[in-house]
Amino acid sequence: MQNTKKGGNQMARSPSINKVTIAGNIVRDPKVRKVGEKKISVANFTVANNRPYLDKDKNWQEETAFVDAELWSMQAEKVGDKAKKRRSCNSGRLFEK
């Protein structure tokens, strides 16, 4: 793709998006702690996400993915209430530790 502005030919970049939403059952109680000088809340917990599917014999099966999650700030403070309901749906960015 060519750029018609002054400065010659350049490749146009598309924006990079890093957003994930995970919904499922909270497997273990969130561990909420305060970090840094500003005492920002951080919560760690695990979410089980179930996916039903039909196998090759047309029988329903269920696959479960266990996802470790970390929430910061307001989301971390609110996860305690959601933990009582045992359901969670959170959005954020994906990163590898």
Q: Which two tokens stand for residue 32?
A: 């909420």
Assess whether pLDDT exceeds 70 at residue 8.
no
User: Percent of the chain having pLDDT more than 90?
Assistant: 46
User: Percent of the chain having pLDDT more than 70?
Assistant: 84
Taking alpha carbons only, the member of 94, 96, 97, 82 closest to residue 26 is 82
| pTM (two decimals) | 0.70
* More confidently predicted of 12 and 23: 23
* More confidently predicted of 78 and 4: 78
Q: Specify burial of residue 61 (Cβ count, 10 A radius: 0-12, 13-18, 19+).
A: exposed
**Residue 1 banded pLDDT, cuts 50, 70, 90:** very low
> What are the C-alpha distances in Å from 43 to residues 18, 49, 89?
20, 18, 14
The yes or no reply on domain 23-87 and CATH 1.10.3720.10 is no
pLDDT in tens, 25-38: 998 888 999 999 99
Q: Where are the alpha helices (DSSP H) in 1-97?
A: 73-85
Residue spans of the domains in the chain: they are: 23-87
